[in-house]
Amino acid sequence: MTTDALGTAAAGRGGALLVVGDVITDVVARHRGPLAAGTDTAAAIRTVPGGAGANVACWAARAGGAEVRLLGRVGADAAAWHERELAECGVRPRLVVDPEAPTGTVICLVDTGEAAERTFLTDSGASLRLEPDDWSDALLDGVAWLHLSGYLLFSEPSRALVAVALESARTRGVPVSLDPASAGFLRELGVDRCLSLIEGVDVLLPSRDEACLLTGLADAADAADAAAKLSRHVPLVVVKQGAEGAVIARSGSVYARVSAVAATPRDTTGAGDAFTGGFLAALLAGAAPEDAAADGCRAGALAVERVGGRPPMPD
């Protein structure tokens, strides 16, 4: 199937988007300037629902159109809260409650300077304990597109789940996308191993740092070379560049660049997830990849002007 036909084919199936990934409790601490080591740094602190997979699902649901479902794993400590928050965003959650591990938690340190840059301290908890027993082929009933959070690549149980889900999607002819999720964790996993794990994925949605890492072009000034190189492994590659928009490549060459939407950033947490959710919703509705990327840029711009990684609640 050509990349232009992906969205049309998925839209023609008339089915849902299934996201498989992490559901996390985010503790967002917004501070100004460097942290004061060994003493206090004033910050505004909020606890909000997050997780890359869950955020993508919520932004896709916000776009309307196809039904959005989510498979994730949480601890008993916050299961009811996360289920309620997801449902209020229009997502149909299927949350496995882990009998031992607590819900994953991320401390998001956000410098409130001009770039609103963020640093994560991550305790994945139950989120990366998703395993093949949590998967059922019936999860793909009525599904036109499967999206996998890249965080699933970073533990043995969830890597096994990815393999099972990919095989199930191939059998049913369901297109699959993946967001690599974290340059730091990718570095630990190893590039060759990552590329082997995502074999069979139809659409890859890395950030510029992740794309450059996966191609060995860590010093690239522009994401175009990395996008083009990755598109020799994955049919469609969409590299997210934040304020510089997105680059789209296929068959070893760049074929579109999409401009960002102007925004005044408050918190960049979840901006890439917002892009992915907006992109997938548009692609599932039949949009061409460049038009879907424009929707992704609009969602990303809205995301950076908010605290936390989720969209505003519907009225």
- The pLDDT tens digits of the residues spanning 48-99 come to 999 999 999 999 999 988 999 999 999 999 999 999 999 999 999 999 999 9
Q: E-assigned strands of 165-207?
A: 176-179, 203-204
Q: How far does the chain reach from its first CA to its final CA, in angstroms?
A: 39
pLDDT at residue 253, rounded to an integer: 94
What pLDDT score does 181 carry? 80
CA-to-CA distance for 49 and 58, rounded, in angstroms? 11
- Whole-number pLDDT of residue 35: 84
pLDDT, residue 211, reads 92
Confidence of residue 11 (pLDDT cuts 50, 70, 90): low
Token pair for residue 290? 């460049």
Helix 3-13 × helix 289-304 angle, to 10°: 80
Task: For residue 36, name the pLDDT band (cuts at 50, 70, 90).
Answer: confident
Residues contacting residue 4 through CB under 8 Å, at least 6 positions apart: 288, 289
> Whole-prediction pTM value?
0.92
For residue 237, which of 269, 198, 264 has the smallest C-alpha distance? Answer: 198
- What are residue 248's phi and psi, to 5 degrees? -120, 130
What would the pLDDT profile of 247-287 be if each residue is shown by its tens digit?
999 999 999 999 999 998 887 778 999 999 999 999 999 99
Residue 266's pLDDT is: 80
Q: Tell me whether strands 253-258 and 246-250 are parallel, antiparallel or unpaired.
A: antiparallel
CA dist 148 and 18 (Å) reads: 9
Question: Are the C-beta atoms of residues 289 and 139 closer than 8 Å to each other?
Answer: no
Q: What average pLDDT score do residues 201-206 get?
A: 97
- Give the single-character DSSP code of 133: G
Answer whether residue 225 shows pLDDT above 60: yes
Q: How confident is the model at residue 301 (pLDDT cuts 50, 70, 90)?
A: very high
Instruction: Please state the separation of Cα 7 from the chain's center in Å.
Output: 18
Output 46 or 13, whichever has higher pLDDT: 46
- In 180-190, which positions are buried (b, 16+ CB within 10 angstroms) versus exposed (e)? bbbbebbeebe
